A and B are shown apart, each in its own frame.
Chain A
């Protein structure tokens, strides 16, 4: 099994599996975000539940962190390794003739998402952890979110991150299925369409929530 983890195919399959997990997480996170559009109380109750439930805090959250860290560390390592496989570059190359921009620039969209995650942690995750475990004060999650999105620069940065996420998912979704060996004449074309829909709708959903709070603040 150790040979599997270090082999090129093993790494590719694990990248896909961590990708699947993160794609599922995106959906779950979005559902909670949407609660802030529906009702402030519902959002606060759910945030309280997520922030205090031991199963979420001590099991789901560590798994999530492992998934994120594995996906980003491996993604960067693989990219460096791939660059080393061709040290002498072509004088003339036309990659646009045979592959999509999204598929060739996963590292760029990936690092953009990573920077966003860092900002997002500083904005929301660390204050929540501090309130729950250090200062033990009551946190109004809805107010915290609403306050952040009064700033148009913030809204702009978040929108850019959602675009990067959409570009990352446009390749990532269908690519994960190929990596785990699912390539089927009958179902793959539908799966690709489903992937494109997911890649557009999920980031758009996040954008809608951010836009709602920004417009509300005007």
Chain B
């Protein structure tokens, strides 16, 4: 198929940036969205132009690196997929596709479609872990009985890959789905109880320091999340925060 791409080009963090139009042809519906960008970049390089900078790593939906805002939606029009898993068959011949970086003041643009998501790492470092003695006599996690439902919910929360689609989609640029998932993942398990209070207080504090907006429960994050992280995790975080504050 033949397509018209309108891509956000920005030379660096200080550059103003703007949309640039590129026609592209002979795109197969079996290609992934990133492979389509690869084709474009090869053409640009052959012409001696600067290729479009974009984040990618595993290209199988688990690393959370790819981060494009495609036709007004994080990771494009499909549901439950990252940009690398988005097939070109989702588009029609002759379509115009808008491609922008994830936008949030807490995710500053580095170049073109690449944004700095280290704010997520700082939130994670503030409490998104459990402290375990790894001196050689570590207890086997499976020796602690955990209810099936709690184990399932914790696993569901743990599938968050930290891509930032929730922030990019949220009208308030709120990071609560991400932080909610990271808090709930541990708060549902016995291993997470020891540091439960400090975890939620420190992670929320760091989230606020990073300048993310406030959650107004629009539910947009849950819809656009490639891993289907539930809003229930935000409710769990709110309860944990309330418990830790009293």
Residues of A within 8 A of B (CB): 1, 3-4, 7-13, 78, 81-82, 84-95, 97-100, 103-104, 106, 171, 174-175, 178-183, 185
Q: Please tell me the number of chain B residues within 8 Å of chain A, measured between CB atoms.
A: 49
Contact assessment for A85 and B100 in the assembled complex, using a CB-CB cutoff below 8 Å: no
Question: Cβ of B228 < 8 Å from any Cβ of A?
Answer: no
The total number of A-B Cβ pairs within 8 Å is 138
Residues of B within 8 A of A (CB): 6, 8, 19, 69, 71-73, 77, 98, 100, 103-106, 109, 169, 171-174, 176, 201, 204-205, 207-208, 211-220, 223-224, 231-232, 234-239, 241-242, 245
- Given A82-B171, A90-B100, A98-B169, is A181 in contact with B220 using a C-beta cutoff of 8 Å? no
- Given A4-B245, A85-B211, A86-B103, is A92 in contact with B235 using a C-beta cutoff of 8 Å? no
B225 CB, nearest partner CB in chain A, Å:
10
Task: Specify which chain A residues have a CB less than 8 angstroms from the CB of B171 in the assembled complex.
Answer: 82, 95, 99, 104
Contact assessment for A99 and B105 in the assembled complex, using a CB-CB cutoff below 8 Å: no
Contact assessment for B173 and A180 in the assembled complex, using a CB-CB cutoff below 8 Å: no
Cα(A12)–Cα(B217), bound, Å: 10
Contact assessment for A86 and B241 in the assembled complex, using a CB-CB cutoff below 8 Å: no
**Nearest A residue (CB) for B237:** A9
B7 CB, nearest partner CB in chain A, Å:
10
Contact assessment for B98 and A92 in the assembled complex, using a CB-CB cutoff below 8 Å: yes
Give me 5 other A-B pairs in contact (C-beta within 8 A), A82-B214, A98-B224, A183-B231 excluded.
Answer: A92-B98, A92-B100, A94-B72, A98-B219, A174-B217
- Given A94-B73, A98-B73, is A8 in contact with B231 using a C-beta cutoff of 8 Å? no
**Nearest B residue (CB) for A103:** B218
B210 CB, nearest partner CB in chain A, Å:
10
Cα(A161)–Cα(B176), bound, Å: 32
Task: Specify which chain B residues have a CB less than 8 angstroms from the CB of A93 in the assembled complex.
Answer: 69, 72
Cα(A9)–Cα(B245), bound, Å: 11
Could you say which of A8, A85, A100 contacts B204, with CB atoms under 8 Å apart? Answer: A8
- Given A82-B174, A92-B72, is A100 in contact with B105 using a C-beta cutoff of 8 Å? no
Cα(A197)–Cα(B243), bound, Å: 31
Could you say which of A7, A89, A91, A178 contacts B205, with CB atoms under 8 Å apart? Answer: A7
15 contacts between A and B (CB under 8 A): A3-B245, A7-B204, A78-B214, A82-B173, A82-B214, A85-B104, A85-B174, A86-B103, A97-B73, A97-B223, A98-B224, A99-B223, A181-B238, A183-B232, A183-B236
Could you say which of A4, A11, A103, A174 contacts B214, with CB atoms under 8 Å apart? Answer: A11
- Given A7-B204, A91-B100, A181-B239, is A85 in contact with B217 using a C-beta cutoff of 8 Å? no
Contact assessment for B172 and A85 in the assembled complex, using a CB-CB cutoff below 8 Å: yes
Cα(A7)–Cα(B179), bound, Å: 14
Task: Specify which chain B residues have a CB less than 8 angstroms from the CB of A8 in the assembled complex.
Answer: 174, 176, 204, 207-208, 212, 214-215
